Amino acid sequence: MNFLTNRDISLELTHEILATAAGDVGDLPPLLQGKRAILLFEKTSTRTRFSFERALGELGCATSYADLRSTNFVKAHAVDEVRVIGDYADLLLIRMGDHELLAQMAEATPVPIINCMTDLAHPCQALADALTIVQHCAKPLTEVTVAYAGDFTNVLRSLAEICCPLGAQMKVAVPEPARTSDPTIEQAQSQSQLTYFDNVADAVRGADVVYTDTWVSLGQEEERSQRMELFGPFAITKEVFESANDTAIFMHCLPAERGAEVASDVFDHPRSVVFRQAYNRYTTGKALLYHLLKAGTERAA
């Protein structure tokens, strides 16, 4: 079973993964003993790489890591290359820009592929986000309002792809020029679960979760000055954060630029859960691996 977006797994399996991740993942049996995984990353990574390496090791899986740019993926067609490395591994964890190409690669090999981030989606991050919200909000997810502010990123898309089907409401403050036509967002809007706002304060007011992402993603460094000007009014300042509910939490997928998308006094606020959120990349990653591979083993049997 591939995991390219959060829609690739059922709500039932999503709940199972979150429930497992909320428990003691150290108790999970080494289901991947004798297996080998290849981590193939085109983009730099901290949380994704090290959380999965730990999780895979604890599940008994041997791992190989490669910077995609140091391989012949940069010379040959990626579909041909993935057919080769698929014969060397039982699982592929891939982090690259082109989501459509990743989907083609997944069709070319029977080996399960986990999307460790593309420009379109960041489904593993969304699992960690959902778990963090469940852990730190004193109400069920079906009663939670998530406010997101800033750029229209893969993180926003995947956040909507998991939170809305699980019953949460989303209020999104993204400047008009940055908004993108997207089926996930449009479906959530049509079901009255997601609303756009032109003003960040209006989006955050009364929210249970305040979430933002970087304004300058990998590959956008040359656009920095223009992006700072465009997104400047959408920053999460302490004044903006305090307009949320009294128990609201602050979230950021990291890395963050203090003083840009978020003020330091919000990032370091007692109700900032960014480091627990980062830790949950490990717990949800391990639970994801366990359930995906367990399901595959059961089908094979």
Task: Please pick, among 124, 125, 129, 137, the residue that the annotation labels catalytic.
Answer: 125
- CA angle at residue 293 from 287 to 298, to 5 degrees? 120
Bridge-partner residues for 74, per DSSP?
A: none
**Is 95 annotated in the active site?**
yes
Task: Please pick, among 61, 253, 269, 291, the residue that the annotation labels catalytic.
Answer: 253
Q: Which two tokens stand for residue 154?
A: 């893969």
**Is 291 annotated in the active site?**
no
Alpha helices in the chain (DSSP H): 11-22, 47-58, 78-85, 99-108, 123-136, 154-163, 183-190, 200-204, 224-231, 238-241, 264-267, 274-300
Identify which of 38, 41, 84, 40 has the alpha carbon closest to the alpha carbon of residue 62. Answer: 38
Task: Please pick, among 47, 119, 122, 151, the residue that the annotation labels catalytic.
Answer: 122
Task: Please pick, among 227, 252, 281, 291, the residue that the annotation labels catalytic.
Answer: 281
Q: Are 123 and 155 in contact (CB under 8 A)?
A: no
> What is the dihedral sign for C-alpha 140, 263, 283, 123?
positive
Q: Could you tell me if residue 136 is left (phi over 0), alpha (psi between -120 and 50 degrees) or otherwise beta?
A: alpha
Q: Are 121 and 8 in contact (CB under 8 A)?
A: no
**Is 213 annotated in the active site?**
yes
**Is 122 annotated in the active site?**
yes
Task: Please pick, among 95, 227, 269, 291, the residue that the annotation labels catalytic.
Answer: 95
Q: Are 287 and 17 in contact (CB under 8 A)?
A: yes
Query: Other CB atoms closer than 10 Å to residue 300's CB: what's the count?
Result: 6
- Phi and psi torsions of 237, nearest 5°: -90, 170
Task: Please pick, among 119, 129, 208, 213, the residue that the annotation labels catalytic.
Answer: 213
Question: Which residues are designated catalytic?
Answer: 95, 122, 125, 213, 253, 281
